[in-house]
Chains A and B, each alone.
Chain A
């Protein structure tokens, strides 16, 4: 099946620093999504990307849909303590009934 390679697996940063994480795939996706998951909760959508090359921002978050449709990155600027959590990329290959393929997640830890 399809697999998403997400990196880094974890990040330890200082408050105020910028964060960057990315996902790559061996196959093409038509939609890239970035989610944040807090412990014991379901994922919450941060940014959705629907077009190759698309660059989208949501507050301090910026994500891009790679031109090849096989990769995407998420940047977080000026991190704050509430940014702590696990971030997942997810891809959708198309078709009305397909579920999402998730990356393995990036665990973000912020040191004050």
Chain B
């Protein structure tokens, strides 16, 4: 149990376009999901906390207008990278918090902006 599905696993897009990444909790409901970014050979850095039915909370230095988060249901959060640029190329990972504690991570999305 406690599976988080993240899609797509990789995407290549042109500079200036937008990309949407989905994160689904398959067998549990997640009122809170988290989005992390990981650059090569570095650690995971929390970008934002996604709350079902309310606005996301962004970490300091993360542009909320660039990284749009929507958590419209208890099993789905989406991250849209708007007007992507090469410096946005990274590994994006979502995580869902389970009732009673515990964090399950998705398998990540490798974004390459060319």
Which of A's residues lie within 8 Å of B, judged by CB? 1, 31, 33, 35, 40-45, 48, 50, 88, 96-105
Q: Which residues of A contact B34 (CB under 8 A)?
A: 99-100
Interface size class of B (residues with CB under 8 A): 20 to 34
A42–B43 CB distance below 8 A: no
Please report the number of residue pairs spanning A and B whose Cβ atoms sit closer than 8 angstroms.
Answer: 56
Main secondary structure of the interface of B (DSSP, over half): strand
Answer whether A105 and B103 are a contact pair too, CB < 8 Å, given A97-B51, A97-B57, A99-B36: no
Which of B's residues lie within 8 Å of A, judged by CB? 4, 6, 32, 34, 36, 42-46, 49, 51, 57, 59-60, 91, 93, 95, 101-108, 110
Answer whether A96 and B32 are a contact pair too, CB < 8 Å, given A42-B93, A43-B44, A105-B43: yes
A50→B59 CA distance, assembly (Å): 25
Q: Which residues of A contact B51 (CB under 8 A)?
A: 97
Q: Which residues of A contact B49 (CB under 8 A)?
A: 97-99
